[in-house]
């Protein structure tokens, strides 16, 4: 597979890499995952270590790093708690920070000509000067409509988006060897989940719904390829604020209580149940957008990911409302666990680790 980078030694798309740790910088926390591959069993993995470290409030806003020092310190704390020697990391940019476009170019171009043509095409789609962006592309293959043309996926992001994440890692002694895009990382990890579905969900539509701190991303996949994506403004931060208001707690206290329990008996009826219904309604609404804007009229499976996915009763409530088989994501369900991993804790944390897992899997990319 042809692989070209302009200007920086990072990858938006695919590249073979040395041993690394997948690092997901989300709105609320730093998540790290380290995987290894079982000897002589290609494609069979062991989760060696992982860590989740909460970020200070507003350190990240709308995917942008506001407090570089706090993010770097949090990353360093997570890395130390992992107890690993690996310092190479794979990071990802949020989808909103990346412009992606499929383009068609003549087949048979020499590598240098292909690079030139991609750069020329990029000028049409990127609303910034090319010297202000990091640009990358991947050759997907021949166009289904015309075998004399190549389908090429173009990806670009402003340099500031990349540089802030790289700086945060470098400040705590880590080296960035891959820069991915969050939905692509989630799709990589999704292959571990698809294997858990009946017949691996061949020719079926699977809605991967990642409910983060502030944004719910709905990505509908068919045979491992995204056919629809949409963000909606609902997430776990909304629940935290409601806990604060009802029980008079600080933001830190509310977040801790949400994760660890210990709230009064009326938490379920007065706070959790209404929030759960809000999320279910947003999921149903998102699926309606999917049906009305694509050729597809049904979803066969729903997979819940992100920090809110493990909310008590959410999967059952979604299944009841949508009448679609619903499961909570666990990309590690078919992996071996190292002796350092606590199975019960991993089960609880797994839905929020899907992006970090996908980034960790970049270590084994054969391209």
CATH number of the domain that 131 lies in?
Answer: 3.30.420.40
Rounded to 5, what percent of the chain is helix, strand, coil? 40, 30, 30
**Is 130 within 8 Å of 122 (Cβ atoms)?**
yes
Q: How many CB atoms lie within 10 A of CB 258?
A: 23
Indicate if 26 and 166 belong to the same structural domain.
yes
The confidence score (pLDDT) of residue 200 equals: 93
Q: What are phi and psi of 126, to 5 degrees?
A: -105, 120
The confidence score (pLDDT) of residue 11 equals: 53
The confidence score (pLDDT) of residue 322 equals: 95
The confidence score (pLDDT) of residue 3 equals: 33
Whole-prediction pTM value?
0.86
CA 2 to chain centre: 24
Indicate if 318 and 346 belong to the same structural domain.
no
105 - beta bridge partners?
150
Indicate if 157 and 306 belong to the same structural domain.
no
Indicate if 188 and 205 belong to the same structural domain.
no
Indicate if 69 and 182 belong to the same structural domain.
yes
The confidence score (pLDDT) of residue 9 equals: 40
Handedness of CA 77, 83, 88, 93 (dihedral sign): negative
- What residues of the chain score a pLDDT lower than 50? 1-10, 12-14
Indicate if 106 and 7 belong to the same structural domain.
yes
Distances (CA, A) of 76 to 83, 215, 314: 11, 26, 33
Indicate if 222 and 89 belong to the same structural domain.
no
**Could you give the number of structural domains in the chain?**
2
Nearest in space to 179 (alpha carbons), one of 361, 359, 64, 11: 11
Indicate if 52 and 77 belong to the same structural domain.
yes
The confidence score (pLDDT) of residue 114 equals: 81
Indicate if 131 and 209 belong to the same structural domain.
no
For the chain, strand residue ranges (E) read: 3-6, 21-25, 29-37, 45-54, 60-61, 64-65, 88-93, 99-106, 133-142, 149-158, 175-181, 205-211, 216-222, 225-232, 301-305, 325-328, 336-337
The confidence score (pLDDT) of residue 291 equals: 95
Indicate if 208 and 349 belong to the same structural domain.
no
Indicate if 181 and 72 belong to the same structural domain.
yes
* CA–CA dist 164, 168 (Å, integer): 6
Indicate if 274 and 320 belong to the same structural domain.
yes
Q: Which domain holds residue 293?
A: 197-328
The confidence score (pLDDT) of residue 261 equals: 78
| Residue 315: both structure tokens together | 């999967």
Nearest in space to 356 (alpha carbons), one of 240, 210, 224: 210
């Amino acid at each position: 597979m042809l692989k070209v980078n302009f200007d920086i030694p990072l990858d938006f798309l695919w590249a073979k890499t040395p041993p690394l740790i997948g690092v997901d910088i989300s709105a609320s926390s730093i998540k790290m995952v380290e995987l290894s591959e079982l000897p002589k069993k290609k494609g069979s993995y062991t989760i060696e270590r992982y860590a989740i470290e909460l970020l200070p409030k507003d350190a990240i806003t709308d995917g942008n790093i506001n407090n570089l020092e706090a993010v770097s310190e949090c990353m360093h704390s997570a890395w130390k708690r992992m107890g690993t020697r690996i310092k190479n990391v794979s990071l990802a940019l949020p989808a909103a920070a990346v412009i992606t476009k499929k383009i068609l170019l003549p087949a048979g171009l020499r590598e240098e000509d292909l690079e030139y043509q991609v750069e020329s095409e990029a000028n049409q789609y990127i609303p910034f000067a090319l010297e202000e962006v990091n640009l990358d592309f991947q050759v997907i293959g021949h166009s289904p409509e015309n075998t004399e043309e190549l389908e090429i996926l173009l990806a670009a992001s402003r340099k500031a988006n990349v540089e802030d994440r790289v700086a945060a890692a470098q400040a705590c002694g880590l080296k960035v060897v891959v820069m991915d895009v969050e939905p692509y990382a989630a799709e990589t990890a999704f292959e571990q989940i698809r294997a858990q579905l009946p017949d691996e969900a061949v020719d079926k539509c699977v809605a991967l719904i990642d409910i983060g701190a502030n944004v719910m991303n709905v990505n509908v996949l068919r045979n491992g390829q995204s056919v629809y994506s949409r963000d909606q403004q609902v997430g776990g931060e909304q629940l935290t604020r409601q806990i604060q208001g009802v029980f008079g707690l600080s933001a830190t206290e509310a977040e801790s209580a949400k994760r660890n329990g210990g709230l009064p008996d009326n938490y379920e009826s007065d706070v959790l149940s209404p929030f759960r219904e809000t999320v279910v309604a947003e999921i149903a609404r998102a699926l309606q957008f999917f049906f009305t804007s694509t050729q597809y009229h049904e979803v066969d499976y729903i997979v819940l990911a992100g920090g809110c996915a493990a909310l008590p009763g959410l999967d059952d409530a979604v299944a009841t409302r949508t009448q679609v088989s619903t499961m909570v994501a666990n990309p590690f369900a078919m992996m071996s666990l190292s002796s350092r991993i606590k199975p019960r804790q991993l089960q609880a944390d797994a839905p929020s680790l899907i992006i970090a897992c996908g980034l960790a899997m970049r270590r084994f990319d054969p391209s």
